Amino acid sequence: MSSSSFNTPDQGLRVDLECVKNNTDHHTHEITEERLIIRRGQALSLKISAENIQQNHITITAETGPGASEAKGTLRSFSTESSTNPAQVCSRSESSVSLTLVFPSDAPVGRYSVCVKHRSSSCVNTLTLLFNPWCKDDSVYLPSEAERQEYIMSEQGVVYKGVDEYITSMSWDYAQFEEDIVDICLKLLDLNPKCLKEPQEDYSARCNPVYISRVVSAMINSDDDRGVLMGQWGDSYTGGVPPSRWSSSVEILRRWMKYDCSPVKYGQCWVFAAVMCTVMRCLGIPCRVVTNFQSAHDTDRNLVVDEYFSDYGVRPKQSLDSVWNFHVWVEAWMRRPDLTQDTHTLYDGWQVLDPTPQEKSSGTYCCGPAPVKAILEGHTEVKYDVPFVFAEVNADRVTWLLMADRSRKKIMSDSRSVGQNISTKAVGSSSRLDITDLYKHREGSAQERAVYTEAVNRLTDLQISESPPVSVQMKLSLDVAPLNGADVPLKLLMKGSRAQCVCVCISAQVMRYTGAPAAAVWNHSTDVQLQDIEEKALPFTLPFSAYGHRMLENNCIKVSAIAREKNNPNDMFLTEKNIILHTPNLSLTVSGSPLLDSVMSAVVQFENPLPSVLQNCSISLTGSGLLKNTEKSSTVQLGPGQRITLQVSFTPYRLGLKKLMANFNSATFRDIQASAEVSVRPA
């Protein structure tokens, strides 16, 4: 029997769920047309057949969760005779009645058991109910159709990484419409600790996207529950997959489901965020992935990040506070009726949610939803977690120098560098959209400082830090793009306000993207004589032999320069620069007619640009709607100038704009990526 109908042969009652029509009307046909998946606040149609059917004797009962009740909103009855919950008759004949009914726009989402009764006959089946951004009465309503297509319907996206001066991008396969993903998302909701403790209350609360988003934020990480991903920011990824290898949510979610909901190893911030985006879009909540460059992690809620250096230029200890090269979270679109009645509409719209386990929120590793509008205006008392997110985009940085006698000296206060180039994928294209002005006013403006002061005053009575005077200006610069596998030429530009001799200590550390040092790899000291207002350039080279073996699982190189005036050793000055190394190109070409169920081919190729042999080289290729499974090459070694090629034939199985994503890995270069869009048309 087809899953689109019920049948009770002894009584002759049949119900056609009209899955193709309903799922198409409800924008869920990309998931399946074999079972009913609908959105709340929108009519669905049913056709009920029986001998001598009487339209006045039809009732439909839908319930979700244990102990379903009307009081909790988890039990709902529809009747052809009801005026409050009508099942409206559209047409009838002697043997059938066609009905429409609507689940309220505030009904709990999830899997429902539906019982249709006609006189003494009944039949039962299931449907899945999702949020509805097309419905004006739904609290996730998104007015723009172009934005609905991007933030609900698009299965591919772009995640931004790197540093603020060199932003890199990677394609990500969200794959929220793969048929099994909706079941995995519902399993994730069922395993959350709130559901395990009080299932009736949890199922009732699933009407609220604020509640759902906090649950999903907590369940993407596994720090205090049976969540999807285990984080790892160290040097070893034994027993799992390095975070940089992932490029698709579907493989992660399927692996979690396959192995009894044990956490998948391993994730870092962009992986947590991308997987959460998949879950949110699947459930029907508009969602986008956002990257903040120079992202502060403020552990003590004072909106200040303290950083420490030694007098020879390296970071001698791990501060509890830090500034990450980049940090990735998601935004979800929803109304905020949970906030005060007079102001809640002010905070409607995009909300920050962060599934990366950094700090606890109400005792759980989750973050948000924090209204972006509250962050912009410094309203740090608004829930949830606005102070933490405000600090990520607008904290002040105070830099301290640790002396040999363990005393410390404040050498810099910086109110401008945190929160740069906040980025997300643009609607309808693969270009980068800068949304910094949604989070903060222009750096250095009177309005930005006023908002910062307001944010501090709402949290604490601490004084805002001022910078000490500067008599030596320094800047590190690159004349050419730094290439992985080659020496890196740099230049230190110095300018004094008077004639003076300074001792300069330059050091390089390989850094994790979280701002934590992985290893010191190079240092150099020299004396420099500065003349009054004269600029002096000090060239130097960072050799590949010093940094190469340390870069495999690390994000960048931080070069720091500390200058100390020889006649006044207490006067010290600091500058630093993050260097992201450029990697070789990976070639991906696609041929064939992009027609549904027609054979196409893809060729991925990489050429070794180094004068040395590359070990453990391999290529993989993924793409939802195009490839059912990940295709992988064999692992080989490549001599100088040699190539590795992966050729794949594939048959598109879903219509619309899809994306192939290729990935190259070796013992020297990790996660070099290429992508190609394929717009699949009907045959």
- Tokens (6 digits) for 528: 């420099």
Cβ atoms 13, 118 nearer than 8 A: yes
DSSP β-bridge partners for residue 433? 424
How many whole angstroms separate alpha carbon 207 and alpha carbon 106? 5
Cβ atoms 127, 112 nearer than 8 A: yes
Cβ atoms 448, 419 nearer than 8 A: no
What type of residue is 360?
A: K
DSSP β-bridge partners for residue 43? 102
How many whole angstroms separate alpha carbon 243 and alpha carbon 271? 7
Q: What angle do CA 271, 260, 369 make, to 5 degrees?
A: 40
Distances (CA, A) of 644 to 105, 246, 394: 53, 21, 45
How many whole angstroms separate alpha carbon 240 and alpha carbon 558? 28
Cβ atoms 256, 183 nearer than 8 A: no
Annotated catalytic residue 269: yes
DSSP assigned state of 138: S
Q: What is the DSSP string of 421-478?
A: EEEEEPTTSSSEEE-HHHH-PPTTSHHHHHHHHHHHHHH--PPPP-PPP-SEEEEEE-
Residue 311: other Cβ atoms inside 10 A: 18
- Beta strands (DSSP E) in 467-555 are 472-477, 488-496, 500-511, 517-530, 535-542
Cβ atoms 538, 525 nearer than 8 A: no
| β-strand pairing of 370-371 with 349-353 | antiparallel
Cβ atoms 462, 302 nearer than 8 A: yes
Residue 643: other Cβ atoms inside 10 A: 11
How many whole angstroms separate alpha carbon 599 and alpha carbon 5? 34
DSSP assigned state of 345: G
What type of residue is 527?
A: D
How many whole angstroms separate alpha carbon 210 and alpha carbon 224? 20
Q: What angle do CA 363, 394, 216 make, to 5 degrees?
A: 35
What type of residue is 479?
A: D
Helix (H) or strand (E) holding 410: strand 408-414
Helix (H) or strand (E) holding 210: helix 209-220
What type of residue is 653?
A: Y
- Catalytic-labelled residue, pool 118, 327, 379, 441: 327
How many whole angstroms separate alpha carbon 219 and alpha carbon 229? 8
Q: How far is CA 503 from the centre of its chain?
A: 44
DSSP assigned state of 628: S
- Catalytic-labelled residue, pool 269, 277, 556, 617: 269
Annotated catalytic residue 225: no
- Catalytic-labelled residue, pool 354, 385, 396, 571: 354
Helix (H) or strand (E) holding 278: helix 269-283
| Sign of the CA dihedral with 387 first, then 391, 394, and 398 last | positive
How many whole angstroms separate alpha carbon 208 and alpha carbon 337? 10
Q: Which of 323, 474, 324, 503 is nearest to 399 (CA)?
A: 323
Q: Which of 109, 105, 88 is nearest to 97 (CA)?
A: 88
Residue 571: other Cβ atoms inside 10 A: 19
- Please give the positions annotated as active site: 269, 327, 354
